[in-house]
Structure 1
Amino acid sequence: MKKLFFPLLVLGLFLASCQKESNDLKVQQTNDIAVDMSDFYVYTSETVEESTGVKAGHVHGPACKCGSMKVLNQKLKENPGLEKRMYAIEKHTRQLIAAKSANTNKGKPVKPDPDPDPVPYQGNITIPVIVNILEDPAHPITQAHIDSQIDILNEDFNDLNPNTGGVPTEFNDDIADCNITFVLAGVNRKASTKSSWGTNDAMKYASQGGIDATDPTSFLNFWVCEIGGGILGYAQFPGGALETDGVVIGSDFFGENSRGGDYGYGRTATHEVGHWLNLRHIWGDGRCRQDDFVTDTPSSDRANYGCPSYPTVHCRTNDMTMNFMDYVNDNCMYMFTNGQNDRMRALFAAGGAREGFVQ
């Protein structure tokens, strides 16, 4: 009996380890659908960021409008398993989108498949929102700011932005109604004397003076505080640690806020929620050949700032400067594309990283 016990114990530990690895990924692949992953990347180059104006000193914008990619680079260094999880999420996303494409033939439905492959989630998605405010008397956040931010998110993710009529004809067929509704579920406030929280996620921990997240499997958590360093906001991509999952927005850029200037119309949150829903920057954070993984967004090699005229040409194509995932002024961004919508919706499908929101 003793001779059998040790081998059985080893086998049990091995199976438990495999199960833990499977649970860590929390993504079910549709293994029968082959997709090309050769272009997948997670890290972005500091050299590219400097040359495209993301770093401090750019003449057209704030020091660094969005800190999401910088934060992702740091998280990848700290957590060796994060890249593997993001790879699995990306593969799952591409398989769902490929299945959707295979289910149509030049826009016409094909004969129904009795056992079809999963596709990006269909139907309305409702996302409950928790707003965690680290209150600074010099940068107050009122209920009006909060309510306006929820309204703006609902405009932008339901093709109700009043500026969408200005989309150039070339992009008109690409405009997406994402059919995602945001509902305020709670507000937490805590007094803070910090003038700069930085991007190390301290605002997300009560033990560090911040506010702990409210069940990120079922709620989108916002943290509103003074970030510092010229950063308007940053988000955590799907696949990161649960306790830090959510979006951070600078106090002056949350909702309709006169202190935010050109960035005081609530679009920082729209942009950062896009990252939270697995969208990359419109220019792919690299040169012309580095993509944002979306087929209906043009190739570009840099961010745009201000309110660019059309056409603005980079990489021999017209930039989609009005896309929410660029860096232009709030009132000059007003669309997501159908391809971006598919990426976001893949997260809510069976086995998706944010499936818990629709279960």
Structure 2
Amino acid sequence: MRSLITRPRALAVMLAGAALTFSPLGGQATAQLPVDQLDDCFVPPASAAAKGGHGPDTRDVSATEQKAIEARTAQILKAKAARGIGVPQGALAAANVPVYFHVMRDAAGNGDVTDSQITQQMAVLNKTFAGQESSAASNTGFTFSLAGTFRYNNNNWHKDKQSSTYRKQTRKGGANALNIWLVDFSYLGIATFPWDYPRNPGIDGIRVHFDSLPGGSIANYNLGETATHEAGHWFGLYHTFQGGCTSTNDGVGDTPAQSSSTNGCPEGRDSCSLPGLDPIHNYMDYSYDSCYNQFTPGQSTRISDMWTAYRA
């Protein structure tokens, strides 16, 4: 996860008394709530804390479960290959991913972003997944196209309350569609994993703080790289510090193990006795947006495998 501050998240409660209406203009949707259900507006501090200070931005995966996921993925890929589904040996999957933005505003319009910001965010996704931010970066082969933008007025949804409910009510597309909900919460972003899609498809996607988009107000985290980080999880990547200083680590051979997440952009950081410096420039660490610049070839291979197994 990329976290802004450390405060408890509100427990999800069922939405009551909300009427969802759809505007004929621009495909926008509006959900209205009674005034007495308004929430106070939380404004992130100017000096945002390191991402991860509030817990993981994906559900915890133990070493035992991680091993089971890898075994299950291998079985699925083998079965698909036997049916002629998948990619040739040594090749990588490639696809154009439809992206749906859900802008969760409150009744006063707080949390809105401009169409230009969404366009810029799409450009960041296409640039980062194409490996265009560094000569050391890998081109994953995946591109992104804007499939729709929907705006809602709902004070609870804006604050990421009833998140399971609002995602199930608003999510678009199938397993291959990336849904991005823009909300105001104490995180920078939260994501689901691809292997969880069959169990709960209605909540699949990523939630991103609206002020982390290009032009947002969160210092050090307003270049749009939060969406790249969370989309990495959505494609099946762990944090580079998954498992700490272990040989298994994040399941990717060319991302050196690290004992903990990064804050800022500390060149030469080496938190682990295993070979290699900490991969602070990797999108799956917790570095500043300006520090990020790459996915590795190994991560591209993992993205390909996970896409083929769970999203293709």
TM-score exceeds 0.5: yes
Note the C-alpha offset of 1:89. 4.5
In structure 1, stretches of 5+ residues that fail to align are 1-48, 100-115, 166-171, 207-211
Correspondence 1:204 to 2:167: yes
The answer (yes or no) to whether the contact 2:6–2:53 under 8 Å persists in 1 is: no
Q: What is the match of residue 282 of structure 2? A: 323
Structure 1 residue aligned with 2:10: none
1:142 alignment partner, one of 114, 120, 123 = 114
The match for 2:189 is 233
Output the CA distance in 1 between the equivalents of 2:162 and 2:242: 21
1:153 and 2:112 are equivalent in the alignment: no
1:110 matched residue in structure 2: none
* Secondary structure class of the residue paired with 1:146: helix
Judge conservation of contact 1:89–1:353 (CA < 8 Å) in 2.
no
Alpha-carbon RMSD across the aligned residues, in angstroms, is: 3.4
Alpha-carbon distance in 2 for matches of 1:199, 1:284: 28
**Counterparts of 1:67 and 1:215, CA distance in 2:** 31
Aligned to 1:348: 307
In the TM superposition, what are the counterparts of 1:200-279 in structure 2 within 5 Å? 200-206=163-169, 212-226=170-184, 228=185, 230-240=186-196, 241-254=200-213, 256-279=214-237
What is the deviation of 1:215?
A: 2.1
CA distance in structure 1 between the partners assigned to 2:244 and 2:49 by the alignment: 20
Give, as a single letter, the amino acid of the residue that structure 1 aligns with 2:99: V
Structure ID, larger Rg: 1
Q: CA deviation at 1:288?
A: 3.9
Deviation track 1:46-70 (CA, whole Å, cap 9, x = no partner) reads: xxx9xxx99849xx96264498846
| Alpha-carbon distance in structure 2 between the residues aligned to 1:304 and 1:117 | 35
Give the conservation status (yes or no) of the 8 Å contact 1:158–1:180. Answer: yes
Is the aligned partner of 1:182 residue 2:144? Answer: yes
Pair 299,286 (structure 1): closer, same or farther in 2 beyond 3 Å:
closer
Q: Distance in 2 between matches of 1:184 and 1:202?
A: 24
Partner of 1:62: 49
Q: TM-score, normalised by structure 2?
A: 0.72
Equivalent-residue separation in structure 2 for 1:139 and 1:260 (angstroms): 13
Structure 2 runs not aligned, ≥5 long:
8-46
Higher relative helix content = 1
Instruction: Give the residue type in structure 2 aligned to 1:323.
Output: N
Number of residues of Structure 1 aligned to a counterpart in Structure 2: 257
Q: Is the 8 A contact 2:124 2:224 kept in 1?
A: yes
State the identity as a percent.
Answer: 26
Question: Is 1:128 aligned to residue 86 of structure 2?
Answer: no
Residues in 1 aligned to 2:98 and 2:291: alpha-carbon distance in whole angstroms: 27
Residues 51, 263 of structure 2: 8 Å contact kept:
no
